[in-house]
Amino acid sequence: MLLGAMLDILGCGIEFRDRFQSLGLSAEIHVRPTEKNHLRCTKVDVETRPNPAIRHPADICAFIAAAPFSETVKEKASAVFERIFTAEASVHGEAPDHVHLHELGADDSLIDILGFCWLWEKLEFAPIVYSTLVTGRGQIRTQHGLLPVPPPAVLKLIEGNEFRTGDIETEVLTPTGAALLTTLGKQVGGEFLLRPIKTGIGAGDRSFPQVPNIVRVILTESAPLPDPAIAIDEDVEADQIWVLETFLDDLTGEQMGYFQEKMTEAGALDLFITQGIMKKGRPGYHVTALCRDDRETELIAAVFRESSAIGLRRRREHRLVLRRESRSLPVEGVDVSIKTAYFKGQPVNRKPEFEDLRRLVREQNLTLKQAAERVRKEIDEQDGSK
């Protein structure tokens, strides 16, 4: 269904079929238009030939390594399979390299996972976000016997994600789908602003009276839409940022200073650290960091790598930012960078770069207050204000 939705967006069904049909797998691939609940969709069928080869993790890794795809595609596909190996090993109490993947080891799973990564490359590996997962409920029969829905491997793969069972009494979220989403994407909760460019719909095999059996993939522009309710002025930009929070109670002052430096290097837009009393009367720190989408993963890694944190909270929040301009202003022979913020077309805040103020202090033998006053006077004279 994910392949169908991606092909619905990209329109390269024949190229996809021919490319993957030439890999020598025991499968026939068909891509065709269809309809679900009066919605036009794309359907991908992968028909395995009788008695396909049983593939173990080492076989799958070797196949991917030799496949005629880019290194990035092979790296991402290998990461998805590795998560499947780990999840299956965990629920069956085996080592990952000894796992028998059964259904997941079939050739159609290689087409599913390599195919998704190959199509994703055509979208320049645009960030993947997904909403609350729906797993289905009830029971299914597998080569392991009768299993509850969601199956143990699926639950393992979606740990830390929000999900609901829904009303359909069968497996809705497969291990392959769960592994693709949780390995290559991230879940977003609550309101999330999108600017759709194109929508693709992939159809499943079965039909349900309650809901159409489809997956929708929405291709969006990377910049979030301003919220009309808060777009109060053309000088005010609305966007979204990640807020990361954690508590630390076992770092020294020197270690906290080093941690702060590393968080800034990792991409924190702002970092706020407050002291307080934690459980058992121990002094501790409340750390709050802000970052953009493209630095969230790196910043989370810095928290766990550079501090003693064993957990953190993350949430996405709306932000309003005033339009800003920077200019250089000569003050007594020293170039001082001035940042000006605007609201409704008028400057509402001007701030000199602190390091430039310090240089003015040193070179002109002034106090910091004197340097700030002279900068302010120069700004007023140039702008014609009093």
- For 113-164, write each residue's pLDDT tens digit: 999 999 999 998 999 999 899 999 998 887 767 888 888 889 999 998 999 9
User: Between the CA of residue 290 and those of 22, 160, 241, 243, 295, what are the distances in Å?
Assistant: 47, 21, 7, 5, 10
Phi, psi of 81, rounded to the nearest 5 degrees = -65, -35
Backbone dihedral angles phi then psi of residue 258, each to the nearest 5 degrees: -65, -40
Q: Looking at the structure, do residues 193 and 133 belong to the same domain, yes or no?
A: yes
Q: Is residue 227 part of a domain?
A: no
Domain end marker among 220, 251, 271:
220
Q: Of the ranges 99-103, 264-268, 367-371, which one carries the lowest mean pLDDT score?
A: 99-103
Please check whether residue 186 lies inside any domain of the structure: yes
pLDDT given for residue 223 in this prediction: 47
Neighbours of 42 (CB within 10 A): 24
Q: Cα dihedral sign for 355, 356, 361, 362?
A: positive
Looking at 90-99, 152-161, 281-290, 368-377, which range is the least confident one? 90-99
Contact, 273 vs 253, CB < 8 A?
Answer: no
Based on the fold, state whether residues 192 and 57 are members of the same structural domain: yes
Residue 226 lies in a domain: no
Residues 198 and 336 placed together within one structural domain of the fold: no
Distance CA 203, CA 59 (A): 30
CA distances from 236 to 222, 270, 318, 327, 348 (A): 19, 19, 13, 20, 12
Range of weakest confidence among 31-35, 293-297, 357-361, 381-385 = 381-385
pLDDT classification of 91: cutoffs 50, 70, 90: confident
Nearest to residue 178, comparing CAs of 7, 2, 297, 5? 2
Whether residues 361 and 241 fall in one domain: no
Whether 254 and 358 map to the same domain: the answer is: no
Question: Are both 89 and 163 inside the same structural domain?
Answer: yes
216 and 265 in a common domain: no
DSSP-derived 3-state class of residue 22: coil
The enclosing domain of 365 has a CATH number of: 3.10.20
Asked if 216 and 362 sit in the same domain, the reply is no
Mean pLDDT, the chain, rounded, equals 87
* pLDDT tens digits, one per residue of 190-199: 666 678 899 9
Segment 25-43 shows an average pLDDT of 92
Separation of alpha carbons 374 and 342, rounded Å: 22
Domain range for 261: 236-311
Q: What percent of the chain has pLDDT over 70?
A: 91
- Residue 317 belongs to some domain of the structure: no
Rounded Cα distance between 163 and 210, Å, is 18
Residue 294 has pLDDT above 70, yes or no: yes
Q: For the residues 29-41, what does the mean pLDDT come to?
A: 93
DSSP 313: E
Residue 54 has pLDDT above 80, yes or no: no
Residue at a domain's end among 283, 311, 339: 311
SS3 374: helix
**Cα(220)–Cα(198) distance, integer angstroms:** 7
Residue 23 in domain? yes
Residue 369 has pLDDT above 80, yes or no: yes
In this predicted structure, the answer to whether residue 228 has a pLDDT above a threshold of 50 is no
Q: Give the pLDDT confidence score for residue 89 in this predicted structure.
A: 86
- Does 170 share its domain with 282? no
pLDDT at site 147? 83
Q: What is the number of domains present in the chain? A: 3
Q: What is the DSSP string of 95-162?
A: -GGG---GGGGSHHHHHHHHHHHHHHHHTTT--EEE--EE---EEEEETTEEEEES-HHHHHHTTTS-
Write the CA distances from 114 to 67, 236, 349, integer angstroms: 9, 43, 53
| Residues β-bridged to residue 201 | 216
Question: Is 225 a member of any domain?
Answer: no
202-224 residue pLDDT tens:
999 988 887 889 999 999 875 44
Q: Is residue 231 part of a domain?
A: no
Domain termination residue (choose one: 311, 332, 356): 311
| Percent of the chain that is helix, strand, coil (3-state, to 5) | 40, 30, 30
Residues 246 and 356 in one domain: no
Higher-pLDDT residue of 379 and 8 is: 8
Poorest-confidence range of 131-145, 225-239, 296-310, 317-331? Answer: 225-239
User: Which residue is associated with the tokens 């259904």?
Assistant: 103
Q: For residues 256 and 205, state if they share a domain.
A: no
Q: Are 188 and 220 in contact (CB under 8 A)?
A: no
| Separation CA 96–CA 89 (nearest Å) | 5
Percent of the chain's residues with pLDDT above 90:
49
Whether residue 55 lies inside any domain: the answer is yes
List the CATH number of the domain containing 245: 3.30.70.1380
Per-residue confidence (pLDDT) for residue 94, from 0 to 100: 75
- Local confidence band at 108 (pLDDT 50, 70, 90 cut-offs): confident
| Same domain? 78 vs 100 | yes
Q: Examine the pLDDT at 230 and tell me if it is beyond 60.
A: no
What is residue 300's predicted lDDT score, i.e. its pLDDT?
93
Of the candidates 201, 247, 199, the residue with the CA atom closest to the CA atom of residue 43: 201
What ranges make up the beta strands (E) of the chain?
Answer: 27-36, 39-48, 128-130, 133-134, 138-142, 145-149, 163-164, 185-187, 196-203, 214-220, 236-248, 270-277, 283-291, 313-331, 334-343, 346-352
Work out the pLDDT band at 293, boundaries 50, 70, 90.
Answer: confident
Task: Write down the pLDDT at residue 32.
Answer: 96
Tokens 């007023």, located at residue: 380
